Amino acid sequence: MLTMATLVASITVFVLAIFLGFELISKVPPTLHTPLMSGANAISGITIVGALILSNSQFNSGDPGTASWLAFIALIMATINVVGGFMVTNKMLEMIAGKKRRGGK
Amino acid sequence: MMVDPVIWDVGYLVSAAMFILGIKRLSSPRTAPQGNRLGAYGMLLAVLVTLVKMYTDTEGIIGYELIVGGLAIGSLIGYVMATRVEMTEMPELVALFNGFGGGASALVGLSEVLKRLQNSNVPEPGVELYAIWVAIGLSGIVGWVTLTGSLMAMGKLRGGFYIPFTKKDDRGRRKWVRFPTWGPPWMNFVKGAILLACISLIGLTVQDPHNYDYIYSLVILSCLLGVLFVIPIGGADMPVVVSLLNSMSGIAAAFTGFVIGNNVLIIAGSMVGAAGLILTFIMCKAMNRTLMAVLFMSFGGGGRESVTRTKVGSDPEEVAMICDGITKCVIVPGYGMAVSQAQHAVKEFADLMEAQGVEISYGIHPVAGRMPGHMNVLLAEASVPYEQLIEMDDINSELPETDVALVIGANDTINPVARSGEGPLGGMPIIDVDKAGVVVIIKRSLSVGYAGVDNDLFFEDKTMMLFGDGKKMMNELNGAIKEL
């Protein structure tokens, strides 16, 4: 049951996290602009949690219903975002780090 | 099995902390790979906590098909896309993933509202109804706009598309259509009206939560808004648009957190939203334009200057001779290098010069290319050492002592007219290649850049133009250097 108190608590978390996000990244070197963007984007795939909860529905009895199908599509999209996002970021960072080592010798 | 539900909140808290540390570490080159892994583990933890929580709930997991199927299909597609992608296609892929994130959030909200209506689980009018319905509406608006906007941005990044089923030409290609950029001034009013309509629809659903028409209208209008939002914005402004959409995909996830009452979504989503916004402002600053101007004033469209002057092009051999015996060369890449995929040829040129003892560095403009950090990623792919990639401010102090500045497919970011403070480019920070001894510019033609402004630098005596495709000209130049 959602009450005024829990709502205000959630809004507090929301506002504080926005400030945290601003403070967290003060200066980013341009080389990291793309990896930071794709890494942050992978984290925004956290919506996968909601998709999982809503995908929990019976299939055996036939059609799980429109709502569950939508959750299923959401789950696929969120998983692509998460898995693909972290992998692609890792790929870029390895490339950048690899060059750095070789360049330093 | 009964477990104290507090344990799940603790699990989510740990995963939120891992996201915070992950993003923090992503902003420094040394710790970035670790930061990314930390984020991935945080995500894994959140997924595991959710699954175990669902399993131990009173109801338990009532159907595995959709859960297992969704995770498997999504992982497979994500894996294949991430493994197959070429570095040159990275902007499109990042845009697409952004869209998926936003779309997933919007779908979760839609699924939640339908499920509640289906199970007659609509709260009585009060805080709960208002909060959840408004959150569903907002995650819907932001999410759908992110999805359709990102798909549009992807099309713009690609530049266009082949029409399927049309006749192939002699090179085996189908008909190519440029992705449209279209935005008459009245479009802003249309966008504003649609946004107002969307917000009013949220108000209406709160008053009449059982009305499906309002919900579906909101979906359709938000999707339309995303298309209209991006269609007037030109390709060269995509760094701003892509980072803004990245921010929006985070905000959508945060709103979804309100919908399902989960703090980890709120924390992770709003942090990503803030981080994306910072990047957006970095990009705007690099163009000396405000976010509002980028988003709502169509740019470089109407008053394009036509070029009447001419300039005799040089040969690769002449340039090779100029490059012989110099001590310092600065390479300035632009979007043209990305399009022609010339980064490996550029690296070969740098290797040839370095073998002759020439000092090589790269001057990177923050908005060169179509995505924040686009040039850095491409050059990293071609094994260019990280230390040689110099930021705009630092390279500008080196350029007066530079013998040759080699520009590949850049125009507006090196146009000296920006220093005059007038016209569309006025006040935009540029790379001062005109201060170098000799400027070599590889470009297809003398035509104006994205801003639609003529570039005086092309016509100066110390400028040598190599007309042609970036990769082809670089290869010819490398060949000429080897023959010397």
Q: What is the pLDDT of residues B117-166, one digit of tens each?
A: 988 888 888 888 999 999 999 999 999 999 999 999 998 888 777 777 77
Q: Distance between CA B82 and CA B96 in Å, rounded?
A: 12
Share of chain B above pLDDT 70, in %: 96
Please, what is the Cα angle at B340 between B335 and B344, to 5 degrees?
100
Sheet holding B404-408, edge to edge: B389-391, B359-364, B328-333, B404-408, B438-443, B463-467
Q: Does the model's ipTM exceed the 0.90 cut?
A: yes
B302 has pLDDT over 50: no
Surface of B (124-153) touching A: CB under 8 A? 127-128, 131-132
A99 has pLDDT over 60: no
Mean pLDDT, residues B447-456: 81
| Residue of B61, B253, B372 lying closest to A44 (CB–CB) | B253
Summarised one tens digit per residue, pLDDT across range B187-200 is 889 999 999 999 99
A11 has pLDDT over 80: yes
Q: How far, in Å, are B101, B134, B281, B348 from residue B262 at the CA level?
A: 17, 16, 29, 52
Quick one: pLDDT at residue B433?
93
Quick one: pLDDT at residue B263?
92
Q: How far, in Å, are A65, B69, B159, B323, B364 from residue A58 at the CA level?
A: 9, 13, 44, 71, 54
Mean pLDDT, residues B269-298: 87
A103 has pLDDT over 50: no
Mean pLDDT, residues B294-323: 76
Active site residue B461: no
| Residue of A19, A41, A74 lying closest to B108 (CB–CB) | A74
Q: Distance between CA B45 and CA B465 in Å, rounded?
A: 56
- Residue tagged 């570095």 (tokens): B87
Close Cβ partners of B382 (under 8 Å, ≥ 6 residues apart): B343, B344, B346, B347
B439 is written with which tokens?
């400027």
A101 has pLDDT over 70: no
For an interface test with B, give the residue of A7, A20, A46 to mutate (most B CBs within 10 A): A46
Question: What sign has the CA pseudo-torsion B131, B137, B140, B146?
Answer: negative
Which chain A residues are closer than 8 Å to B369 by Cβ? none
Which chain B residues are closer than 8 Å to A70 by Cβ? 107, 110-111, 114
Quick one: pLDDT at residue B358?
94
- Residue tagged 């960072």 (tokens): A93
Q: Distance between CA B273 and CA B175 in Å, rounded?
A: 39
For an interface test with B, give the residue of A41, A53, A86 to mutate (most B CBs within 10 A): A41
For residue B160, what are the β-bridge partners?
B178
Summarised one tens digit per residue, pLDDT across range A14-28 is 999 999 999 888 778
B410 has pLDDT over 60: yes
| Residue of A2, A13, A30 lying closest to B391 (CB–CB) | A30
| Residue of B19, B372, B373 lying closest to A43 (CB–CB) | B19
A58, closest residue in chain B (CA to CA): B63
Q: Is B370 within 8 Å of B397 (Cβ atoms)?
A: no
| Residue of A6, A47, A66 lying closest to B104 (CB–CB) | A47
Give the pTM. Answer: 0.88
Query: Pick the catalytic residue: B237, B412, B432, B434?
Result: B412
Quick one: pLDDT at residue B69?
94
B164 is written with which tokens?
């399927």
Q: Distance between CA A18 and CA A101 in Å, rounded?
A: 35
Is B269 in the A-facing interface, judged by CB distances under 8 Å? yes
DSSP B279-292: HHHHHHHHHT--HH
Bridge pairing between strands B438-443 and B328-333:
unpaired
Q: Is B368 within 8 Å of B334 (Cβ atoms)?
A: yes
Give chain B's mean pLDDT. 89
Taking CB atoms and an 8 Å limit, are A79 and B50 in contact across chains? no
Which chain A residues are closer than 8 Å to B46 by Cβ? 46, 48-49
B479 has pLDDT over 90: yes
Domain chopping of chain A, boundaries: 29-104
HSE-up of B246 (CA within 13 Å, CB side)? 35
Quick one: pLDDT at residue B334?
92
Please state which architecture CATH assigns to domain B316-483. 3-Layer(aba) Sandwich (3.40)
User: pLDDT class for B300, splitting at 50, 70, 90?
Assistant: very low
Quick one: pLDDT at residue B299?
58
Q: Distance between CA B160 and CA B154 in Å, rounded?
A: 9
Taking CB atoms and an 8 Å limit, are B78 and A32 in contact across chains? no
Please classify residue B126 by burial: count the beta carbons closer than 10 Å to its beta carbon, then call 0-12 exposed, 13-18 middle and 19+ buried.
Answer: exposed
Question: What sign has the CA pseudo-torsion B462, B355, A104, B87?
Answer: positive
Taking CB atoms and an 8 Å limit, are A75 and B258 in contact across chains? no
CA distance B64 to chain A (A): 7
A97 is written with which tokens?
């780090």
B117, closest residue in chain A (CA to CA): A67
Share of chain B above pLDDT 90, in %: 58
Which chain A residues are closer than 8 Å to B114 by Cβ? 65-67, 70
